[in-house]
Structure 1
Amino acid sequence: MASDPAVLDRLHREHATALWNYVVRLTGDRVAAQDVVQETMLRAWRQGITDDDHQRATSARAWLFTVARHLVIDEARSARHRREFPTDELPEGRIGDQVDAVFDAALVSDALGTLPMIHREVVVRAYYGRATAAEIAEDLGLPVGTVKSRLHYGLRALRLALQERGVTR
């Protein structure tokens, strides 16, 4: 194994640009070409490839190009390459942890269970059903003022129930 960094430096200086141009032509990807050249040079260093004289320089260059070509072929055949594809669109935003939302829903549901039925029914229809006071009044056969009053007192009781559970101030 060649442990002399000067050997790798010389190999890189003499062959990396031509090797990179070759890999760019094969892949069409400038960034991937840099990775392939780096991996090729690493393998050359591990194998002890040198180009001390003209004969060795020719065989070292051939070896480097062959290794680079094989790396490109291996990548093209890889499962990762078949499953991944480039895109100009950003991925969806990060999805946060839903644990807090589940606990909040459980607390609100528990607090709603403590309300008298006449208040709970109006609060649930207004906030979960997104119904207006007039729609709730029509559905329940009550005056709009009664629905507004029950909604007011229901929300007030709900706030107190949540305070008892340590949710709000």
Structure 2
Amino acid sequence: MHLDQQQALRELHGDYAQLLWRFVMRLVHDRAQAEDVVQETLLRAWQHPEVLAREPNALRAWLFTVARNLVIDDWRSARHRHEFGTAQPPETPDDDQSERILDAWLVGDALATLTPEHREVIRQAYYGGKDTTSIAAALEIPEGTVKPRLHYGLRALRLALEERGVSG
């Protein structure tokens, strides 16, 4: 932007911004919207330098007409017809739990196909967070028995899940 264009824009803003803002405020009763309309009006004037060369009364009429038309366009817009302000924010939807519920159901169904010994070792390890020593103590079995039960139990669980269409 050239120095003379910057000066012309400053003068345009200084001469008309406050007048336009008061005019638009009477139409919209919203400070932010009024400021937006004034900025857009001044921008359009700057984009059409031939308008800036008009006599002051013609320039003023053009600016007020553009501002009025911007307000009317906004009133006619779908945003204005379909949106409304509210003091309450909309409810935020809960996360969709269906995937988690389905997974839990599939795993539970697959666990039911295991022997009670394998199922209990898996439950203690994965749902109880216990290590092999703790599992052996809780189930009163040798620690050397826990590892094979866990291995074969997980293998059987994987096969049961694959039969239900779960791959992984």
Q: Which TM-score tier does this pair reach, normalised by the shorter chain?
A: 0.5 to 0.7
Aligned twin of 1:110: 106
In the alignment, what sits opposite 2:90?
91
Between the aligned partners of 1:86 and 1:107, the Cα distance in structure 2 is 40
- The gaps in structure 1 that reach 5 residues or longer are 120-152
> Using a 3 Å threshold, how does the CA distance of structure 1 residues 86 and 94 change in structure 2: closer, same or farther?
same
* CA displacement 1:86-135 (0-9 Å, x = unmatched): 11111222654x3xx4443233212221227xx9xxxxxxxxxxxxxxxx
Residue 127 of structure 1 corresponds to: none
Please tell me whether the aligned partners of residues 111 and 158 of structure 1 are also in contact (alpha carbons under 8 angstroms).
no
Shift of 1:162: 5.4
SS of equivalent to 1:4? helix
Within 1, Cα distance between the matches of 2:84 and 2:44?
27
Equivalent pairs counted in the alignment come to 124
Unaligned runs of 5+ in 2: 128-153, 159-168
Residue 156 of structure 1: how far off its partner (Å): 5.0
**Residues 28, 158 of structure 1: alpha-carbon distance in 2 compared, 3 angstrom cutoff:** farther
Corresponding residue of 1:37: 38
**Distance in 2 (alpha carbons) for counterparts of 1:43 and 1:95:** 45
Q: In structure 1, what residue type is equivalent to 2:18?
A: T
Q: Distance in 2 between matches of 1:162 and 1:108?
A: 13
Is 1:23–2:20 an aligned residue pair? no
Identical counterparts, % of pairs: 39
Normalised TM-score (structure 1): 0.61
Query: How far, CA to CA, are the matches of 1:80 and 1:158 in structure 2?
Result: 56
Structure 1 Cα separation of the partners of residues 77 and 105 of structure 2? 51
Corresponding residue for residue 80 of structure 1: 79
